[in-house]
Amino acid sequence: MAAGLEGGLQQADRIVILDFGSQYAHLIARRIRELNVYSELVPPNASPAKLKSLKPKGLILSGSPASVYKPDAPTCNPEIFKLGIPVLGICYGLHLVAQAFGGKVEPAEKREYGKIELYVDDHSDLFENVESPTICWMSHGDLVSNLPEEFEVLAHTANTPTAAVRHRKLKIYGVQFHPEVAHTLRGLVILRNFAYKICGCKPTWTMKSFVEEAVKSIGRKVPPDERVLCALSGGVDSTTAALLASKALNGRLLCVFVNNGLLRKGEPEKVLETVKSFNLNLVYVDASDRFLSRLKGVADPEEKRRIIGEEFVKVFSEVAEQHGPFQWLLQGTLYPDVIESARTGSPASRIKTHHNVAGLPEWMKFKLLEPLRYLYKDEVRKVARLLGLPEEIAGRHPFPGPGLAARVIGEVTAEKLRICREASYIVEEELKKAGLYGEVWQAFAVVGDDKAVGVLGDERSHGYMVTVRVVESVDGMTANWKKLPYEVLERISVRITNEVKNVTWVNYAISNKPPATIEPC
């Protein structure tokens, strides 16, 4: 896993998070970044020398679904506590701290899950400006039953006497609750106290500074006689990456936009308009017929994905050969992709790379240029806005690599594509009217082969069933279905059945991820 930033940003104050597999690990990093302090995740087995080389102002030990007293539990090198770097252990991280200093961790008699009242016993440093009692978010079945002598208690709950602790001499802290979760009312204050007061970080991590350094970094990395090729999808990631690169490359960037016939309503026109407004070099290929012809009669989701990826590589390779040579491939890889691919051995390592170009032929040996690889999605959107991208692209929802084929169950036919495209447009439009579009992660319509009887005028009809899917999420790894107001759902339903030909029923998907996925295919 790549660690650290290039160029001037390497000097930015940072906090390093040891990731023990917590579902909240990325959330910790995001919260620290909200404080304008750069944060990055590293594997728990990172050596003290490696950690020291990153020059962090502080270390955070994340939570974990494991128990520290079990033989196969993930752990860290206890020597990290001798580096003189402030440490904050969160939940499982607290248990590791206690264990490293001779304390005891065991199953709690009463487990704590959800919102719990926290009583602060010491309002200095970590809990400065935190009232008592306050609400915190607990999610633990173990606790520190025997606190090491070198530590003192900072806060407690009714069932956890060691809800927050501090080393009496060293800047080593631990909390049993999760300050990174929004349900912990003063969680951001606690993290701010740790970052600013205890670690001495300065709030220098901003998207403005990132843009300036990213452009310089690209200029340093790509020699003046080499060229860069970019697969432009029209989404915020690839478009933002292209705009950053274009500022540094002086016409040596060529963007390739392939219309596979599976795009959203009006998307090709919008992408071409945007690219033109920024004077990007672009090759536009309308390969709709090629893709749809190859998808004819194919119903299996994985086979559809394979065909779409394979055909894209063919089209992309043809353009590269025609307009080459190119030495670099520009991709919109984001930080969660980098981290999840490093979590080898876990289900999370099988990440979706919809914005990346996989399976290119052997003769196309590219060096990778990934200017967004240290950013989260919300940070990319901020960069996009700084670069002047219209909100329609900067704030647009993520779109799957296979396009609408991921939302058409069964064979991809012209009629099902039309229904999916038009119905999805209505869903997005109604959410925008209601002021809800920016509150959700994704919103779209799904169509399969199921049909239902309806009544149009005075006649019975037999039309398709459309399922509306709207979800809330932070990073797409997990998601909850959005509880939309009934009046919004009604408007969506009425418009789809009235405006989209051959649709009789509209359903609403109420399954979370997991167990469901966000996209049906």
Q: CATH no. for residue 111?
A: 3.40.50.880
Does 387 lie in the same domain as 452? no
Residue 340 in this model has a pLDDT that exceeds 90: no
For residue 433, what are the contacts with CB-CB under 8 A and spacing of at least 6?
A: none
Do 373 and 243 form a contact (C-beta atoms < 8 A)?
Answer: no
Q: Is residue 151 assigned to a domain? A: yes
Q: What is the pLDDT of residues 363-403, one digit of tens each?
A: 667 888 999 998 988 899 999 999 999 998 999 999 988 99
Task: Please tell me the distance from the alpha carbon of residue 496 to that of residue 126, in angstroms, as a whole number.
Answer: 53
- Statement to judge: residues 98 and 164 lie in one domain: yes
- The H or E element containing residue 286 is strand 282-286
Write a three-state SS string for 129-155. CCCCCEEEEEEEEEEEEECCCCEEEEE
154 neighbors 179 (Cβ within 8 angstroms): no
Q: Which of 95, 140, 178, 355 is catalytic?
A: 178
| Structure-derived torsion over alpha carbons of residues 432, 437, 443, 445, reported in degrees to the nearest 10 | -10
Number of domains in the chain: 3
Looking at the structure, tell me whether residues 67 and 127 fall in a common domain. yes
Which of 40, 180, 428, 430 does the annotation list as catalytic?
180
Residue 131 is assigned to a structural domain of this protein: yes
- Residue where one domain finishes, among candidates 198, 216, 245: 198
Q: How many percent of the chain have pLDDT more than 70? A: 93
Indicate if 105 and 213 belong to the same structural domain: no
Distance CA 37, CA 79 (A): 25
Are both 500 and 371 inside the same structural domain? no
pLDDT at residue 478 greater than cutoff 80: no
Q: Are residues 375 and 310 in the same domain?
A: yes
d(CA 453, CA 462): 5
CB of 363 closer than 8 Å to CB of 325: no
Q: Is residue 154 part of a domain?
A: yes
Establish if 138 belongs to a structural domain.
yes
Residue 469 reports pLDDT greater than 50? yes
- Does residue 339 carry a pLDDT above 80? no
Residue range(s) defining the domain that contains residue 462 = 414-508
Rounded CA gap, 8 and 24, in Å?
Answer: 29
Please check whether residue 516 lies inside any domain of the structure: no
| Residues 137, 36 share a domain | yes
Q: Is 180 a catalytic residue?
A: yes
- Same domain (yes/no): 369, 317: yes
- 518 falls within a domain: no
How confident is the model at residue 352, as a pLDDT? 36
Domain match, 178 and 259 both = no
Please indicate, yes or no, whether residues 389 and 441 belong to a single structural domain of this protein. no
Does residue 160 surpass a pLDDT of 80? Answer: yes
Between CA 468 and CA 427 the distance in angstroms is 8
Q: What is the CATH number of the domain that holds 498?
A: 3.30.300.10
Q: What pLDDT shows up at residue 466?
A: 98
- Note the pLDDT of residue 188: 95
Residue 440 confidence (pLDDT) above 70 = yes
Are 193 and 251 in a shared domain? no
Has 178 been annotated as catalytic? yes
Residues 421 and 332 both lie in one domain: no
Using the 3D structure, point to which of 394, 427, 445 is the last residue of a domain.
Answer: 394
Q: Distance (Å, rounded) from C-alpha 326 to C-alpha 320? A: 7
Sole residue written with tokens 């990346």: 356
Given 26, 40, 76, 91, the catalytic residue:
91
Looking at 146, 180, 198, which one is the last position of a domain? 198
Calculate mean pLDDT across residues 436-447: 96
CATH number for position 233 = 3.40.50.620
What is the C-alpha R_g of the chain? 25
Lowest-confidence segment of 88-92, 285-289, 330-334, 352-356 by average pLDDT: 352-356
